Chains A and B, each alone.
Chain A
Amino acid sequence: MNKAYFEILRAGVNTTIQDKGRNHLHHVGIAVSGAIDQRNYTLSNRLVENQLNEPVVEFAYQGPLLKLKNGKINFAISGDIFFKIIRKNLEVEDGECYKSYILDEEDQIDIISTKNSTYGYLAVNGGFDLKKTWGSYSINTKANIGPNDGKKYSLNDKIFIKKIDIKSPINKKINYDYSTDNIIRIIKGTNFDYFSKDAIDKFFNEDFLITNLVDRMGIRLKGPKLENIENTNIKSEGLVRGVIQVPADGNPIIMLSDHGTVGGYPKIGVVIAADLDLVGQLTPGTKINFKEVSLEEAQNIFKAYTEDTNKYLNECN
């Protein structure tokens, strides 16, 4: 039996495989990686009745154009995405996010672009036929770890799909409210006191612009210069997703999934876990504000975030 696969007719800007990420390797310098927007990753799997930790295709801005070979699948796309389905007979359907579809042999999915966000997710029922590296399918392009030799997909690559017999089509939908917020909640960082009173005032009261320097490692911001009155270099120490480092030039950098495991710039704050999906989806040109919350508040907000995700998962039918 021939294997089912997607043939990549256009690779898109940054198309990779992601899942929950790869843990317990920070001490050798291997980032967690994993889907930037964990909630949308999880929802895409639910829409095709997968286990919630199956690997999916993550794409950024312009997504891939994929042709299905040797099979028939159910798929779904989550995010804020403009896409079309091009049937074998060249009929074109507008795609709807958060809804499962059937794709036949030789049909194509054309993921044209994200709208007001950076990342989207494509899940197929049964999952992709890939190998795990250190417990995860995530592609880490910085260390070349994971499927496709750890590289983002290029033209003519193939993504193999676990072949399963579709008895009845999956017909699922989620009424997802894709709203964005420009207020990012943070907890004070371990070097918060390195910054002048003026810098702290500016940090919480002025706008910060998302620059073009954005990738899966991090987001560089531009705003008022944050004056460090203590020391602009610290001895390199561990980082986590969401840490906001401020180098000597005074412009903050927010760490995302592929961030270096250690860094030597002072940490002014850390984005709370509940806002990490939101931060990862910010597009260049957007203006954001930072708001401080306590650890206890952050934990309560995270509880609400988890309940919200579960609500969407339960609603999915």
Chain B
Amino acid sequence: MVKNISNLGDTAVYCDFGSEVNETINASVIDYFHHISKLIKNKKIEGITNLTPSYNKLIISFDLTITNYKKIKNFIEGLTINRDIKNNNQKIKIPVCCDDEYGLDFSRLTEKLNIDKDKILELYFSKEYFCYMTGFIAGMPFLGDLNENIRCDRLETPRLKMPKGSVGITEQFANIYTFESPGGWNIIGNTPKKIFDDKNLDQPALVNPGDKVSFYQITKEDYLNWNE
């Protein structure tokens, strides 16, 4: 449930679901997101331009020439959201090559975490992850939760150019850089798989909130010969 609603500037509503990061709170954010999306599609509400769900917040942007904060706030407060029992979420498997030329930060990680590369990989590949949200750059999934022994802070100085396909970890989360971009996550490998496809207009992102993701390791040869 939404704990508090406030305004983010004059063109957005800030729905706060709590400060913790867990699947229960996130599921509630996603339920609101799906419910409001449907109402927008069915033209039950005017003027909303974007919904931005994250771990525990939902930002609703609107067009100030059509509506305003008060109207959207009243609308949100009047909603009855049922737990989305229809589970459209997918299980997705993603290949990763962790050779040193792709896993850019193993020396940093082994030093900071005080465990060796093999152990990091074992802990990383043995879990299934939950997709809390996608964003920052197009299609980038924010996945959790990592095994506690491989949680590490962001890089002190972010890279200006993170290679496309980079698979990163930071704190309790894992992600994938869908495009070359600046970024500060610790990189443990690279995936040849297309995570964002702008030709797929219905569902451009391979991983969507609520999906379960697992990774498997591939050799450099598999990586270079990857064909979709």
Contact = CB atoms under 8 A, between A and B. Distances in A.
B11 A134 contact: no
B78 interface: no
B97 interface: no
A110 B56 CA distance: 50
Contacts of B142: 236
A25 B58 CA distance: 14
Given A23-B50, A24-B50, A236-B54, A273 B134 contact: no
A144 B179 contact: yes
A28 B204 contact: yes
User: B50, B52, B55, B198: which has the most chain A beta carbons within 10 Å?
Assistant: B50
Interface string A188-208: 011000000000000000000
Q: What is the size category of the interface that chain A forms with chain B?
A: 35 or more
Contacts of A26: 50-52, 59, 61, 135
Contacts of B14: 190
B138 A143 contact: yes
B155 interface: no
B9 A240 contact: yes
A45 B73 CA distance: 34
Contacts of B8: 189-190, 240, 243, 267, 270
Given A32-B50, A238-B57, A240-B12, A260 B201 contact: no
Contacts of A270: 8-10, 12
Interface string A11-54: 00000000000011111111010000000000000000000000
Interface in A256-277: 260-263, 267, 270-273
Contacts of A32: 49-50
A317 interface: no
A239 B139 CA distance: 16
B149 interface: no
B59 A240 contact: yes
A147 to B, nearest CB: 12
Contacts of B138: 28-30, 142-143, 145
Interface string A171-197: 000000000000000110110000000
Contact of B49 (A24, A30, A260, A306): A24
Contacts of B126: none
B90 to A, nearest CB: 15
Nearest to B11: A273
Contact of B10 (A25, A142, A238, A272): A272
Given A29-B139, A302-B10, A142 B52 contact: no
B205 A24 contact: no
Given A27-B209, A302-B10, A238 B198 contact: no
Given A23-B50, A242-B9, A261-B52, A236 B40 contact: no
Interface of A: 23-30, 32, 133-134, 142-145, 150, 186-187, 189-190, 235-243, 260-263, 267, 270-273, 295, 298-299, 302, 306
List 3 tightest A-B contacts by C-beta distance, closest first.
A238-B52, A270-B9, A238-B59
7 contacts: A27-B33, A30-B138, A237-B59, A238-B52, A240-B11, A272-B9, A299-B10
Interface of B: 6-12, 14, 19, 21, 33, 40, 49-59, 61, 64-65, 68-69, 133-140, 142, 178-179, 181, 196, 198, 201, 204-205, 208-209
